Chain A
Amino acid sequence: MLYDIFIDPFVQMVEMPDFFLQVLWEGFVAGILYALIALGFVLIFKASGVFNFAQGIMVVFAGLTLVGLHENGVPAFLALILTIGVMGVLAYGIERVVMRPLVNQPDIILLMATIGLTYFLIGFGEFVFGGEPKRMIAEELGLPTGSTAFEMGERGLVILQHIDIAAAVIAIIMVTALGIFFNKTRIGRALRAVADDHQAALSVGISLNQIWAIVWFAAGLVALATGIMWGARSDVSFALEIVAFKALPVLILGGFTSIPGAIIGGLIIGFGEKIGEIYWGGLVGGGIESWLAYIIALIFLLFRPQGLFGEKIIERV
């Protein structure tokens, strides 16, 4: 038993380095994909202190819109542009109908409002697109398919899916772009101000309406990217919404307000989860992935209650 826990896994890692590398790669890809979802959450949290429960469904919604348009004969790239437009309209609508009347309310109320939004989008999305899963038009969008295998040793093989590489590249570009946008611009500072105190932000002349429309739109774009990437992995269906839960530990681990935190958190969870499941999961019957991420996050939190890069929780009287 002790051997199984403390020695065997490491022996395996050394004996089958190709496989270990593959595990690391899968962990990396999973981490990147989680990070993409988490990024959407971070944007909105950073800008309003709202935990946007609807991010998961926005991912589905964006993916379905894209595929749905294509199915109706719109060329792939035009469909992409139209989808971006739809996300813009959605952002404006959310700002107008949900956020604006609820300014200055406690976080939990805003969270609840995004849950209402989730319900609405589920119903609306299924109403428009039906509940059937749809195939992502990855190829049509020019995303690479296929895979490359690297030989290692005699029978070793590390297989890299091109789509995964594309996902990683896109994620890194988005994170950098958003990071710069939010940290280096006037709007970035305003965002953080809004998250701290809506009323005070209003009083210094920050237009919450404008800020919210911008971030919801940005979150919509992230959702679209996420939808494309996740959709290419499995299918675009409402079941994808469940995957969004995976963003929670990532988010919490990285800290709700940090864009790099989303990536680092994603990677920690991705690596931890894959390695844990593959090398230790078998000991308890497998499937530990469903909670391992939370336990990893929990352990980190016990040392840093605000997450790795989160803003310190201010305690003062």
Chain B
Amino acid sequence: AAEDGNYVPLLTYRTGPYAGSGIHIANGMNDYLQMLNERDGGIGGVKIVIEECETGYNAQKGVECYEATKGKNAVVYNPYSTGITLQLIPKAAVDKIPVLSMGYGLSAAADGNTFPWVFNVPDTYWDGASVAIKYIGEQEGGLENLKGKKIGYIFLDAGYGREPIPLFEQMAEKFGFELVKYAVPGKEMQNQSSQWLNVRRDRPDYMIMWGWGAMSPTAIKEAVKIRYPMDKFIGVWWSAGDDDAAAGGEGAKGYKAMNFSGVGSDYPAIQDIKKLVVDAGKSQTDPESIGSTLYNRGVLNSVIIAEGIRAAQQLTGKKVITGEDMRAGLETLDLTNERLAELGLTGFAHPMKVTCEDHAGSHPVFIQQWDGEKWAVASGWIEPMKDLVRPLLEAAAKDYAEKNAPWPKRTEACPN
């Protein structure tokens, strides 16, 4: 299928317990790529061959999708599940197909020297965690005012939610605040009353949430129930869905979340999607969900894929590229404001750049706030605390390589 186009398999989930979040992402990714096909005839004159494979957020099925599609000259994989990402990381180097885990997955993979095949632009979870604390500091009038404060962290009790903990702990020590952790077991996602009772007892000054799927709306509802001040409740970018916040009804007004992709549907490119894809009946997207946070996140993901392909085409001069080409392309990714404007996405994301050393780039993130009906931008771009994050990343990468010894040394040349 892929001789005449660039084959992009999309591992998505529109079924299972996480479908609520997964559907929007899937729609966003799919629609943008289709729009490119419709509008521009693909990228660099060749079409993009899109194939969705349903994973149900299940690692086994994810691997199965990977195995079934990799042989068709897949150029890149977006697993959309930390579990699947972890399975694919070691395979990426062997099969020579890059893994793009945008804002999730293994944070350590930002170390391009250890993980040449994995990309997690624009940010790692540690970047996110540092932004959250930095923002709280700003609210309090400076990081030094965090001393003596109590910050609660409620998270999905899995690798995903546990990953930021070391950094939080480090920051708690450094800035002198107290960190209180509330683990939500995956099975108890929809049954969080104990955790929130504890929140009520502990009365943390701020709450930070790492939730996904059904966990986020339930947490927001519970927060409303215990009358937690919503403007002191900040979610990671994966807890920033419109449905998540809407679940809390009136009371959810004021809830905040980090984000790195644009809010709303007023971007020309998104209007193109609406016109050429959704209104043309070529997608399953509910028109109302266009412009929602997770939908736009999916779009941004596809923007990165598309830009990666374009970069690879320029680098190699080929039209139909391979996974190896794509890897090189992604490593030269440089999404400037000008380029964003060309794409019809001015202000949709912060400019981002990937280097051979840094596959995440620790790009700035902004905070958005729920006004009871939709999200509104509530802050400027906030830089992650690179000085804290980067050493942690490198240590983690080293640790990973050691534990998985013999981990292959980087042999891939740096394309720039």
Contacts and interface: CB of A to CB of B under 8 A. Distances in A.
Interface of A: 16, 19, 22-23, 26, 29-30, 126, 130-133, 135, 147, 159, 161, 230, 233-235, 237-243, 245-246, 273-274, 277-278, 281-282, 285-287, 289-290
- Chain B CB within 10 Å, residue with most, of A22, A131, A133, A273: A133
B182 interface: yes
Interface in B154-168: 157
A74 to B, nearest CB: 19
Of A233, A237, A243, most B-chain CB atoms within 10 Å: A237
B213 A239 contact: yes
A131 B201 CA distance: 35
A310 B403 CA distance: 51
Interface residues of B, number: 39
B23 A237 contact: no
Contact of A286 (B183, B218, B243): B183
A19 B20 contact: no
Contacts of B189: 234, 239, 242
B19 interface: yes
Contact of B193 (A19, A26, A243): A26
A239 B214 contact: yes
B19 A131 contact: yes
Contact of B185 (A126, A159, A289): A289
| Closest 10 A/B residue pairs (Cβ) | A131-B19, A239-B17, A239-B214, A234-B190, A287-B183, A133-B20, A290-B185, A277-B194, A234-B218, A26-B193
Contacts of A235: 20, 190, 214, 217-218, 243, 247
A16 B200 CA distance: 12
Contacts of B19: 126, 130-133, 237-238
Given A147-B225, A237-B20, A290-B188, A22 B197 contact: yes
Contacts of A246: 191
Nearest to B225: A161
Given A233-B221, A234-B214, A131 B184 contact: no
B187 interface: yes
B13 to A, nearest CB: 8
B197 A278 contact: yes
B226 interface: yes
Contacts of A16: 201
A23 B187 CA distance: 21
Given A26-B194, A161-B225, A234-B217, A286 B182 contact: yes
Interface of B: 13-20, 22-23, 157, 181-185, 187-191, 193-195, 197-198, 200-201, 213-214, 217-218, 221, 225-227, 243, 246-247
Nearest to B226: A159
Given A131-B16, A237-B17, A237-B19, A287 B185 contact: yes
A285 B183 contact: yes
B22 to A, nearest CB: 8
7 contacts: A19-B197, A26-B194, A131-B13, A132-B243, A233-B190, A274-B193, A290-B187
Contacts of B18: 239
A233 B19 CA distance: 19
Nearest to A231: B190
Given A19-B201, A159-B225, A235-B247, A289 B194 contact: yes
Contacts of A278: 194, 197-198, 201
B158 to A, nearest CB: 11
Nearest to A23: B197
Given A130-B23, A131-B13, A234-B190, 5 more contacts: A23-B197, A26-B194, A29-B193, A133-B217, A234-B189
